[in-house]
Amino acid sequence: MLCGVRDVRDYRIHSAKEKAIITGGSAFNIKAKSLRLGDFTREETDVLYLQHTEETGQQFEAEALGRVWELTEGQPWLVNALGYEACFETKPSRDRTRVITAEMIDEAKESIILRRDTHIDQLADKLREDRVRQVIEPILGGFEQPEEIPTDDLYYVRDLGLIKIDGHLRIANRIYQEVIPRELTFSTQVTITEETSWYLLPDGRLDMNKLLASFQGFFREHSEHWVERFQYKEAGPQLLLQAFLQRIVNKGGSVGREYGLGRMRTDLLVIWPHEEGAQKVVLELKILHKSLEQTITQGLKQTAAYMDRAGTEEGHLVIFDRQKDRTWDEKIFHRGESFNDKRIQVWGM
């Protein structure tokens, strides 16, 4: 048996001299049958975790089991990694009388991402492949459906476990939704010279107006240089803002992400803890396709709806204008708008 992350037929013999695939395709023409390990169901995921309870007596809150499913959607490595991290790698949780909570699962998720375990590292390697990029990039940018994505590439990326095809193309689970942009911008995050302390209000909340105004200036001055460094250039503006945000919130907050093919936007939810609880900030990112006023009108409606779902009154709409015949003075603006009694800050870039 040969076990790997893709069908053995997809392994090719490459010529170092010719820089090309040798005619004849795969070296593994011995294949009799190919089996794909699918994702666990919600029931199978719960059963696996409850086996730990049976063996050790350690309990999981119902919310913790729900959080595992929400983050992984049954991806086998992630299901096991979260459980192992939460129950064995964190010293206090080795006390089997301690109940595993949803918060502990979230902490385990963050540890796995920051440590860049082998699985995550391999994921980053796959993202550099062109056939993966042409599937993932339009999803990251929330672009319209491309005219054609080769069917073989779609199934290849699906079999890698990166996407799901269930009515529409989407990233396979919430952990990958977070990991993919972070991996694509990791070197950018660590080289941006921004500090969290620059954007904190006296009560410990993030000053999002100051932060976005700073990014606006950063984007104007550096976007062409930074975006050019990305392999995923079409989604570059969205990725650059996410890298900037991640640099700031790494000191204790988190950035939730929602995006998908045909959505025409990227939704971000910044959660920042402070002395009175958790600050939630919605950011809606859009590329200017129609007229500016049409884009703002549509964006305000989408931002307000997301604010309502997130339960926050703090929302920002960011519009990236990629038209080369317009000057920066025409692209850069900031104004306050209202939609359904919600105050929303609109930023042009």
Mean pLDDT of 324-346: 95
Provide DSSP, 241-264.
HHHHHHHHHTTT-EEEEEE-TT--
Statement to judge: residues 16 and 95 lie in one domain: no
| Residue 211 within a domain | yes
What mean pLDDT value characterizes the chain? 88
**For residue 72, what pLDDT band results from cuts at 50, 70 and 90?**
very high
Are both 341 and 229 inside the same structural domain?
A: yes
Q: 320, 287 in Cβ contact below 8 A?
A: yes
CB atoms within 10 A of CB 334: 14
pLDDT score, position 120: 80
CA distance to 37, 53, 77, 109, 281, per residue, from 68 (Å): 19, 15, 12, 9, 24
Q: Within a domain: residue 64?
A: yes
Question: Do 292 and 323 lie in a common domain?
Answer: yes
| pLDDT (tens digit per residue) in 137-159 | 988 887 766 667 888 898 889 88
Instruction: Give the whole-angstrom CA distance, residue 19 versus residue 25.
Output: 14
Q: Are residues 178 and 325 in the same domain?
A: yes
User: At 159, which helix (H) or strand (E)?
Assistant: helix 151-159
| Average pLDDT of the residues in 113-118 | 80
Distance CA 136, CA 235 (A): 10
Q: Into how many domains does the chain fold?
A: 3
> Do 185 and 268 sit in the same domain of this protein?
yes
Please tell me what DSSP assigns to residue 27. Answer: S
- Taking CA 24 as the corner, what is the angle to CA 22 and CA 30, rounded to the nearest 5 degrees? 120
Question: DSSP letters along 285-325, please?
Answer: EEE--S-HHHHHHHHHHHHHHHHHHHT-S-EEEEEE---TT
Tokens of 187: 């070197």
Q: State the Cα–Cα distance between residues 98 and 249, nearest whole angstrom.
A: 29
Same structural domain, 3 and 90: no
Higher pLDDT, 122 or 295: 295
- The predicted model scores a pTM of 0.81
Residue 104 resides in a domain: yes
One domain for residues 48 and 91: yes
Same domain as 70, residue 14: no
The CB density around residue 239, as the number of other CB atoms within 10 Å, is 25
Does the residue 122 lie in any domain?
A: no
Give me the CATH number covering residue 96. 1.10.8.60
Summarize the confidence of residues 204-216 as an average pLDDT: 96
Q: Domain range holding 224?
A: 169-348
Tell me the helix, strand and coil percentages in the chain, rounded to 5.
50, 20, 30
Give SS3 for 233.
helix
Q: Are residues 312 and 219 in the same domain?
A: yes
Q: Is residue 225's pLDDT more than 90?
A: no
63 and 13, same domain (yes or no): no
Asked whether residue 305 is domain-assigned, the answer is: yes
Q: What are phi and psi of 263, to 5 degrees?
A: -80, -20
158 domain residue, yes or no: no
Q: Check whether residue 92 and residue 175 sit in a common domain.
A: no
- Cβ-in-10-Å burial (0-12, 13-18, 19+) of 17 comes to exposed
Reply yes or no on whether the pLDDT at 27 is more than 80: no
Condensed to tens digits (0 to 9), the pLDDT of residues 277-326 reads: 899 999 999 999 889 999 999 999 999 999 999 999 999 999 999 898 89
- Strand segments, DSSP code E, in the chain are 12-15, 20-26, 163-165, 169-171, 254-259, 266-274, 277-287, 315-320, 333-339, 342-348
- What is d(CA 263, CA 139) in angstroms, rounded to the nearest whole number? 9
Residues 62 and 13 in one domain: no
Cα separation, 129 vs 305, in Å, equals 36
The per-residue pLDDT for range 263-272, each reduced to its tens digit, is: 778 899 999 9
The residue length of the chain stands at 349
Q: Give yes or no for a contact between 312 and 283, defined as CB atoms under 8 angstroms apart.
A: no
* Residue 97 pLDDT > 60: yes
